[in-house]
Chains A and B, each alone.
Chain A
Amino acid sequence: MAGIELAPAEIQALQDLTILVFAPLVSGAIAHLEGRLQARRGPRILQPYYDIAKLFRKETLVPDEASWFFLAGPVVAFACYLTVPLLIPVLTQYPLPLGYMGDILGGGFILSLAGFAVGLAALETGGAYAQLGSSRAMTFGALIEPSILFVTFTVALVTATDLPYFEAAAVRSSLGQAIDPAHLLAAVAFFLVVLNDTSRIPVETHASTLEFGMIDEARTLEHSGPAFALLKWGSAMKQLILYVILINVFAAPWGEAGSRQIGPVLLAIPAFIGKALGVGAIFAVIDSSFSKLRLFKITEFMAVAFLLAVLAVLVLFLGGR
């Protein structure tokens, strides 16, 4: 069947659009499922869209002390979250032209830049809780970094590149690669990293209003109106981006389009959203079955992630024998 072929640029734009449009949906579905698991009715699945739409209509209040970056920060972060989907395999198995622009580390840098922008905007406010959140987010971000580096090393050792597309291709190539101990370890380590970066239990209570336990969530306390909408939307997008890397690079890189035909590419969207909802369900179950770690115990959690990532590299060191 000869369908219409999409240009690579169009597919790339479609990847961005998928993340942009469906991120609040995935967030909403997780929140709904969490409510159900806790014997509540839970918010509507579409609630995040309503929230964002409402916030865009509200006025923006800026603290007296804040400079221009207070409002620029959310925009910079949002732009970063729009850039990362260009680098990672959202819909296709084959690398798109811009996919060569940055490797996993490149994507990580852009995500860190977004975190930096949000953190700086929070520091601008002079609000105690926002500053506390900003400081904590930076500290824990630095502590989780070694695990991310070692996961990257694992990918680099497996594929001799550090492009996410090639790791996914290696996993698809054989079942043996999928149950390779190094790959399993790196995947679990990355799972823990995602747990940390999407501010889930056991690191942080996602939907809490208790400021003392907050890390990432506290940074946005002083924002309001459209800037806050961008922050909320951005954090949903960041979550979906991390799910993309977890699913389409490590855990289940199946179902993406293998060609540029319009059919498979469009089919890849519901396939990916389905997989993301599945992963989201796992996160919701974890959220409801564990308790939050004490702030000073979070380092133990990170030590576990680091342990798994280091073991992955060790296994690869001996794996060739």
Chain B
Amino acid sequence: MTSLGTSPTTLNDAADVVALLVLLSEFAMLRSSLSRSQVRLYAFQSLCVSILAGFVAATRHIVELYGLMGMSFLLKVIVVPLIIVRLVKEIRVDVTASHRIGVATMVLLAIVLSVFGVFVVGHLPVHSRSLPILPLALAAAVILVSFLLVIVRNDVVSQAIGFFSLENGVSVASLVLAAGLPLIVELAFLFDLLVAVVVFGLLMRVHHGRTGTLSTQALDRLRG
């Protein structure tokens, strides 16, 4: 029985829509050319992941997930985006479009990847009690598209955002597969994220200090 009094299919549909928003914001990150809007999209994506966690907590009565929801909201929607925005402001580089290939081509490539991800996961014999299979398949697509984001964009901010959103994809997958995971494990994931933020922050500053830009294209110019 569900706690909200509506039919389970409608609830599952709502969860599916939220999971879809996670994937769509990943696509939007892939094509947006401003670092700041990428960060905003990341915050939105994290918000969707938090909502999904709260949804599973409410419908499956898993109290720990409320804690996870609160923590991930605090960290991923507020703290991490603020840190990155501050870093970008300090560096004062107008990050222009850093696409290696055309946007339409990129989106088509990402579509192919997500179709692949969804089909592969769709064929796995997974039956989850917490969520339908669709969020898991979409999480696989999110992970693949975030890899693409890291590969085809050549500025450090995009690569950091790509890595963070990869973590969002993994979070969604863990909500489907291991909703009852002890809270301490989930918190360890979030701690990993914080470490990554520190590392990427350092990377951005060092890179900018050495090359005067955030673009990674300057890296192939070797100096002896």
Contact = CB atoms under 8 A, between A and B. Distances in A.
Contact of A303 (B17, B108, B132): B108
B interface: dominant SS: helix
A158 to B, nearest CB: 13
Interface stretch (A7-15, A175-183, A226-234): A175-183
B103 A315 contact: no
A311 B16 CA distance: 12
A307 B20 CA distance: 12
Contacts of A310: 111, 115
A181 B27 contact: no
B13 interface: yes
Given A176-B9, A180-B13, A181-B16, A311 B133 contact: no
Interface residues of B, number: 28
Given A176-B13, A179-B13, A179-B14, A315 B107 contact: no
A317 B104 contact: no
B107 A304 contact: yes
A181 B7 contact: no
Contact of A314 (B17, B102, B118): B118
Contacts of B114: 311, 314
Contacts of A300: 31, 103-104, 107
B54 to A, nearest CB: 18
Contacts of B119: 317
B117 to A, nearest CB: 10
Interface string A139-183: 000000000000000000000000000000000000110011100
B118 A176 contact: no
A306 interface: yes
Given A303-B104, A303-B108, A307-B27, A319 B134 contact: yes
A318 interface: yes
A185 interface: yes
Nearest to B108: A303
A319 B103 CA distance: 29
B179 to A, nearest CB: 17
A285 to B, nearest CB: 21
B20 A311 contact: yes
B23 interface: yes
A314 B103 CA distance: 22
Interface string A279-321: 0000000000000000001011011101100110011011101
B3 interface: no
Contacts of B102: 299
Most A-side CB within 10 Å, residue of B20, B23, B103: B20
A178 to B, nearest CB: 10
Nearest to A310: B111
A251 B17 CA distance: 16
B122 interface: yes
B9 A318 contact: no
Contacts of B104: 299-300, 302-303
A185 B20 contact: yes
A220 to B, nearest CB: 28
Contact of A321 (B10, B110, B133): B133
Interface in A244-269: none
Nearest to A319: B134
A78 B14 CA distance: 43
Given A311-B23, A315-B134, A306 B111 contact: yes
B142 to A, nearest CB: 12
Contact of B10 (A175, A184, A299, A319): A175
A82 to B, nearest CB: 36
B137 interface: yes
Interface in B71-97: none
A176 to B, nearest CB: 5
B31 A317 contact: no
A302 B103 CA distance: 11
Contacts of B111: 306-307, 310
Contacts of A306: 107-108, 111
Most B-side CB within 10 Å, residue of A302, A306, A311: A311
Q: Which 5 A-B pairs have the closest CB atoms?
A: A303-B107, A299-B104, A181-B16, A303-B104, A176-B10
Interface of A: 175-176, 179-181, 184-185, 297, 299-300, 302-304, 306-307, 310-311, 314-315, 317-319, 321
27 contacts: A175-B10, A179-B14, A179-B17, A180-B13, A181-B13, A181-B20, A185-B20, A299-B103, A300-B31, A300-B103, A300-B104, A300-B107, A303-B103, A303-B108, A304-B107, A310-B115, A311-B20, A314-B118, A314-B137, A317-B119, A317-B122, A318-B118, A318-B122, A318-B133, A319-B16, A321-B122, A321-B132
Given A176-B13, A300-B103, A303-B107, 10 more contacts: A179-B13, A179-B14, A181-B13, A297-B103, A303-B103, A304-B107, A314-B118, A315-B134, A318-B118, A321-B132
